[in-house]
Amino acid sequence: MAIIKPFRALRPQPQLAKQVASLPYDVLNSAEAKIAAQGNSHTFLHITKSEIDLSDKIDIHSAEVYAQAKDNLDAFIKRDVLFRESKPCYYIYQLIMNGRSQTGLVCVSSVDDYENDLIKKHEFTRPEKEQDRINHIKTTGAQTGNVFLAYRNHAAVDAIIEKWKQAKSPVYDFIAEDGIQHSIWIVNDSDAVASITAVFEKEIPCTYIADGHHRAASAAKVRKQISGEVPEGANYFLTTLFPSNQLYIMDYNRVVKDLNGLSKADFLAALASSFDVVSMGKQMVKPEQLHTMGLYVGGEWFLLTAKPGTYSNDPIGVLDVSVLQEKILGPILGILDQRTDKRIDFVGGIRGLSALEQRVDSGEMAAAISLYPVTIDQLFAIADSGNVMPPKSTWFEPKLRDGLLTHLIND
């Protein structure tokens, strides 16, 4: 069963919450983070993207960057921008995007559960991204990035959370610059805390990583690398748990740098063996059903519809990200491993199809492919089967903000 615990969060003063809260470190590059941080000395980007306070020429994975993150975190605490909760608590985190609401429980989850596969995975991780988070956690002593977990919705958990939301006022409640509303309640009553812990321990058999595989893997590896007695805090990692019926998965699209020596015409001809290829001209193609894809190449959009026999019905083979790999990326473009090949990049659906066009029209990329999103049921089925999806198969929105609740591991 799922082991979760309340924790003493490091969190911002209520009047500074909106300024502190920042997008997750991995959805912004360094240049975007520097722009986002302009004029805001309180943004948590100074901790999660600390290279913004150093020379533009610095290697963002250098020891100096992690040391700067530690210095900045210490400064936030010294300036009383952030303070430590006096007792272990659970936190309720509600996000509202475009009128749609989802509510999760912020807690710490067991590293043992992660290692024993009671926290189920659906993606492999990339070693260099793991190492970045390992270095950040070890240097700062803090888990600053939240791991987004899902569980099969449970009426008892829903009832406890809704009752608390109705009875109490949120400690944080603001609308971010992107229009998403963020509200957080503190669950500090001992009986309520015990009830939540007991429901998960007795009735929730497992949880699933929806977003944050690298953060979870890094937390587990940090514990292994601690010499001597392991602090209790390092046995757990920062998570927010959402019921599956509230989750929204967006498309996660691809751009490729070249056509592997093929002309546009030759590339389209190669696709025709597995897909019906229909030109859509300038009309953007956002796939509306499984086994359809959009292709943007040479200033033109195409609708690709997989032919019968192109895909299988097993949990992995039925996914369009699998069809993409097996029928396009591997045999035609020579991209055999999306985790390591530098000729492919990933674009979250939140950025829209225009972002795909821009990457291609600029000459940076040769082609873009839009995909139909994976469903939460598909994600659960794959994780339960012990299989993994191709990398970057799911994009969840809205994103949890960094900086509102941080877990310190050295307790």
Beta carbons within 8 Å of 241's beta carbon, 6+ residues apart: 4, 104, 105, 107, 109, 149, 150, 151, 207
**Three-state DSSP class for residue 53:** helix
Domain match, 34 and 158 both: yes
User: What tokens were used for 285?
Assistant: 């193609």
| Cα–Cα distance for residue pair 164/196, rounded to 1 Å | 11
- Per-residue pLDDT reduced to its tens digit, 1-38: 889 999 999 999 999 999 999 999 988 899 999 999 99
Looking at residue 316, what DSSP letter applies?
Answer: T
Together in a domain, 244 and 269: no
Query: How much of the chain exceeds pLDDT 70, in percent?
Result: 100
Asked if 326 contacts 314 with a C-beta cutoff of 8 angstroms, the reply is no
42 and 191 inside one domain: yes
What's the pLDDT score for residue 350?
Answer: 85
Does 124 reside within a domain?
yes
378 contacts 285 by C-beta, under 8 angstroms = no
Rounded CA-CA distance 103/387 in Å is 28
Contacts of 375 (CB under 8 A, 6+ apart): 249
Look at residue 387 and tell me if it is in a domain. no
How many residues in total does the chain contain? 411
My answer on whether omega of the bond before 398 falls inside 30° of 0, hence cis, is yes
Specify burial of residue 274 (Cβ count, 10 A radius: 0-12, 13-18, 19+): buried
H or E element that contains 357 = helix 353-361
Segment 376-401 shows an average pLDDT of 86
Total tally of structural domains belonging to the chain: 2
Residues 197 and 262 in one domain: no
Q: What is the DSSP string of 114-141?
A: HHTTSEE--B---HHHHHHHHHHHHHHS
Confidence at residue 136, expressed as pLDDT on a 0 to 100 scale: 97
3-state secondary structure of 330: coil
Let me know whether 304 and 277 are in one domain.
Answer: yes
- Say whether both 145 and 185 belong to one domain: yes
Q: Which residues pair with 406 in a beta bridge?
A: 10
State the pLDDT confidence band at 390, using cuts at 50, 70 and 90.
confident
Q: Residue 125 pLDDT more than 90?
A: no
Instruction: Looking at the structure, tell me whether residues 214 and 288 fall in a common domain.
Output: no
Which amino acid is it at 161? Answer: I
Judge if 10 and 39 occupy the same domain: yes
Inside any domain, residue 382: no
In this structure, the answer to whether residues 229 and 275 fall within a common structural domain is no
Element (H, E) at 321: helix 320-324
**Is 223 part of any domain?**
yes
Q: Which residue has the higher pLDDT, 377 or 332?
A: 332
Residues 182 and 84 in one domain: yes
Is the pLDDT higher at 238 or at 57? Answer: 238
Is 316 in contact with 382 (CB distance < 8 Å)?
yes
Residue 238: the pLDDT is 98
Q: Do 31 and 142 share a structural domain?
A: yes
Give φ, ψ of 291 to 5 degrees.
Answer: 70, 25
Band (pLDDT 50/70/90 cuts) for residue 80 is: very high
Q: Judge whether 197 lies within some domain.
A: yes
Q: Which residues contact 98 (CB under 8 A, 6 or more apart)?
A: 179
Average of per-residue pLDDT across 165-183: 95
Residue 286 structure tokens: 């956002």
Question: Cα separations (Å) of 173 from 41, 92, 106, 308, 410?
Answer: 20, 12, 16, 50, 29
Q: Are 44 and 144 in contact (CB under 8 A)?
A: yes
Question: Does residue 189 carry a pLDDT above 80?
Answer: yes
Mean per-residue pLDDT of the chain: 94
Instruction: Tell me what pLDDT residue 385 has.
Output: 87
C-beta neighbour count of 383 within 10 angstroms: 24
Mean local confidence (pLDDT), 349-353:
90
Residue 203 lies in a domain: yes
Report, in this order, helix, strand and coil percent for the chain, each rounded to 5.
35, 25, 40
Which stretches of 231-381 are assigned E, i.e. beta strand? 236-243, 249-250, 252-256, 275-281, 292-297, 300-306, 344-348, 367-371
We report the CATH number of the domain holding residue 303 as 3.30.1760
Same domain, 95 and 137: yes
pLDDT of residue 236: 97
Quick check: is 379 in a domain?
A: no
> Domain for residue 378, yes or no?
no
Report the pLDDT value the prediction gives residue 317, as an integer from 0 to 100.
85
**Residues spanned by the domain of 315:** 252-372
